[in-house]
Structure 1
Amino acid sequence: MRTSVNVQIAVTHVVTRKKQTMVAALGVAIGVGIYFFMNSLSSGFTDFSRDEIFKNSAHIKIYKDDEISTPISKPLESDKIHVIINPQITTLSTKIINPEALLNKVKEQPFVTTAMAQVSFDAVYNRGKAQMRGTGNGVNILEQDKMFNLHKYIVAGRMESLQGNLNGIIIGSGIAEKLNLNVGDNITVSSSYNVTKVMKIVAIFTTGNRMNDNQKSYVTINAAQQFIKEGPSYVSTLFVNTPDPDNSENYRDQLQKLTPYKVEDWKTTNADVLSGDKTRSTMMGAISLSILLVAAFGIYNILSSTIAQKINDIAILKATGFSGNDVIKIFVLESLIMGFVGTIVGLLFGSVLIAIMSQIYMGGPVGYFPIAFEFQLFATSLVLGIFITFCAGYFPALKASKVDPVEILRR
């Protein structure tokens, strides 16, 4: 019965003070809406940045790292050491020994979704007197497609035509444009090992990344081995994809137990990019949360004003048997009503903004504006909006609950 009366009093306060209620709810709506929108924006840019990374980078790569020279002889006394004045890199070859066995072992791991070998070489693309420098990548084109979705970026020709074709090559659109080449044309490719071959273009790709499109090409692994004068067992890098990129550090540690070679996850390789993403997310989250807190202070001020104006009514309620907890419930309920209405309106406002922005075409590699509705962010914004408005109502309500009815009624 008492609960029903508390609800009636709270609703009456909210309805009779329509202007203040609307102002408080509008403040919350703007705060929640901007919070939802800006965090969706940050999430969208982070996803876009990650997609750009995974166009060319696997979750984990295995390769032979450079080694620094060490003393030839050990010191005779344990308290002395040899000092190398001019340490040098001593790695003579980047070759992975018995790569096929290691690749099979990697593929047997339950957390590995795809794994492939690659042979890279420095390339010079020639057509007549025109010349461009770049990087050739020897791959199994079907495995390359499975790992990096290469087919999505093919704009001319057939990617599958490279399979088993020693004289075939897939080039970036920047190379094709600058050398005036098309599918079916021949291109002369030279390596830093003075090996030159005339290759036939079987496909052209464009990723939207100018550096990749102007430099990168794909050939078969056997062709790449010929460019660097190596035998059929030569492999320089193994690429591995996992079901959860965010857990790549753990997978990396497990793979490191299988091999003495360097195992590096994508987070280590792209630490600078991830640091920028984290900075942007923190900044946007702080700004949007600040706006939400300002809206909460609006509710706090309105309830404080209401309590000051209705101090006599509160004293009468307590004198007639209402407890301090009843007073807290009444004013907290008022705050929650205003906060709930404002939060729902804010989430609708934010959703509309997200829908509008997601339909704006930016062109280039970005495509449509990188923002999307995410239920997790929607739920987080809802809970945060209600929680902050609860806090904004609780503290003035707590103050009201401590009112001494005798002292107030004596005035």
Structure 2
Amino acid sequence: MNLGVNTEIALTHIFTRKKQTLVAAMGVTIGISLYIFSDSLIKGFTQYSRVEMFKTIPHVRVFKEDELSQPLFAATDTHSVVLISNPKITTLTKSIVNPYLLLDQLKQHDYVSSAAPQVNVDLFYNNGRSQVKGLGAGVNILEADAMFNIQSTMLAGSLQALASNLNAIIIGKGVAEKLNLDLADNLSITSALGVRKVMKVVGIFSTGNKATDESKSYLNIATAQQLLQVGPDYITELYLSVDDPDRSLEYAQQLQAITNYKVEDWQTSNADTLASDRIRSVMNTSVAFAIMMVAAFGIYNILNMTITQKLNDIAILKATGFSGKDIVRIFVLEAFIMGVLGTAMGLSAGALLVNILSKVYVGPPIGYFPIYYRLDVFAVGAIFGMFTSLGAGYLPARKAARVDPVEIFRK
């Protein structure tokens, strides 16, 4: 098969210097494999944390924000200053006015996949002389399950039992352990207003979040309203799920235009978590970039040394009619071959590392290590490897193209 003179010369250089070629390719291999492994690990943990996060928080939340006391009179001019001594919260009720009308308006937007009302109530769980402070979420349990996938967190019991019983309660694993409760046991709860009810435990859940499992419970929404001594239209929050959680901020800004209540997306309320994810991603990319730069310098040094050793050969090629572009093609092709070898081995090694770690069991609630094959990570790794390889090969290739055969022959 006729590969062309330029290709044959490049292959000759590659195969006559196998060890140097392998060393250069191994630098690319290490860089790509570590990038794939670490980026898959970071994205795996991010995906896992998102899934766990959305088991307890909505994509978008609508609620009544606390209001602070305002000045009794306004400043008359720009030189006047109005002071408030010890401003206080003046919010009289947390309830949303006409909540179901607002809920219907929110559901009309195409990007809202589901929406549900919720009534939060501060509780004390009592069993004998033992008492635990917690938060009861008054919900329509089937709607809440569609939004938060509560069923996946259930250790025992049934969601349907809560839907059909106003005196039923589903409690967190931590609450059950602290109060020594099991299914079908009775649990006395007391609201912050002093309303007391005896509930039957029909379910126990575990989200894997210790603080949540030791405080949260699910009640029928009508039961939560009874504990607060309010009517059936008393709703404290509206929870929304959207089709693209990463665009929650954009959607929240659009929804804010139709209501005076606070519309908050999960990205805003969890800005510290997202900042940590971005920092880890930047650190991972920086480490991979540093490794790839080392690999690129390896390729550069090998090709530069090859050019130095083969100045006579290059002079002869140019004297026999090879142009500067031909010389550039030869050495860039050598860098390309090294890059292909290193990239192929790097992708294989990265896939092997991901496969090994994905089979490591770390225990509940995580289960197996949250690392997954991601096509975008492998694609970026391959592009990264080839780009640095070609860049490292082009610089010495240009040096070879500028060789003056007359000067070489004189020496």
Does the pair score TM above 0.5?
yes
CA–CA distance in structure 2, aligned partners of residues 44 and 38 of structure 1: 10
Q: Note if 1:382 corresponds to 2:405.
A: no
- State the Cα deviation string for residues 38-73 of structure 1 (Å, max 9, x = none): 111111111122122211111100000011221222
Aligned to 2:409: 409
Q: Note if 1:220 corresponds to 2:220.
A: yes
Moved more, 257-266 or 65-74: 65-74
- State the Cα deviation string for residues 194-236 of structure 1 (Å, max 9, x = none): 0110000111111111111111100011100111111110000
TM superposition shift of 1:81 = 4.3
Percent identity over the alignment? 51
CA–CA distance in structure 2, aligned partners of residues 86 and 204 of structure 1: 44
Aligned to 2:83: 83
Q: Is the Cα–Cα contact under 8 Å of residues 209 and 365 in structure 1 kept in the other structure?
A: no
Aligned to 1:93: 93
CA–CA distance in structure 1, aligned partners of residues 176 and 120 of structure 2: 20
TM superposition shift of 1:402 = 0.8
Secondary structure at the counterpart of residue 113 of structure 1: strand
Secondary structure at the counterpart of residue 57 of structure 2: coil
Structure 1: unaligned runs, 5 residues or longer: none
Q: Note if 1:20 corresponds to 2:8.
A: no
Q: Note if 1:338 corresponds to 2:338.
A: yes
TM superposition shift of 1:79 = 5.0
Superposed counterparts of 1:8-407, under 5 Å: 8-77=8-77, 79-407=79-407
TM superposition shift of 1:254 = 1.0
Moved more, 186-195 or 68-77: 68-77
Aligned length: 411
Q: Is the Cα–Cα contact under 8 Å of residues 35 and 292 in structure 1 kept in the other structure?
A: no
Secondary structure at the counterpart of residue 102 of structure 2: helix
Alignment TM-score, normalising by the size of structure 2: 0.98
Alignment TM-score, normalising by the size of structure 1: 0.98
Q: CA RMSD in A?
A: 1.4
TM superposition shift of 1:80 = 3.2
TM superposition shift of 1:77 = 3.9
Secondary structure at the counterpart of residue 218 of structure 2: strand
Q: Is the Cα–Cα contact under 8 Å of residues 65 and 262 in structure 1 kept in the other structure?
A: yes
CA–CA distance in structure 1, aligned partners of residues 86 and 214 of structure 2: 37
Moved more, 69-78 or 117-126: 69-78
CA–CA distance in structure 2, aligned partners of residues 63 and 310 of structure 1: 75
Moved more, 94-103 or 40-49: 40-49
**In the alignment, residue 248 of structure 1 is paired with which amino acid?**
S
**In the alignment, residue 309 of structure 1 is paired with which amino acid?**
Q
CA–CA distance in structure 1, aligned partners of residues 50 and 37 of structure 2: 20
Structure 2: unaligned runs, 5 residues or longer: none
- State the Cα deviation string for residues 228-261 of structure 1 (Å, max 9, x = none): 1111100000111111111111100111011000
CA–CA distance in structure 2, aligned partners of residues 95 and 164 of structure 1: 25
Secondary structure at the counterpart of residue 116 of structure 1: strand
TM superposition shift of 1:84 = 2.0
CA–CA distance in structure 2, aligned partners of residues 164 and 57 of structure 1: 24
Q: Is the Cα–Cα contact under 8 Å of residues 256 and 262 in structure 1 kept in the other structure?
A: yes
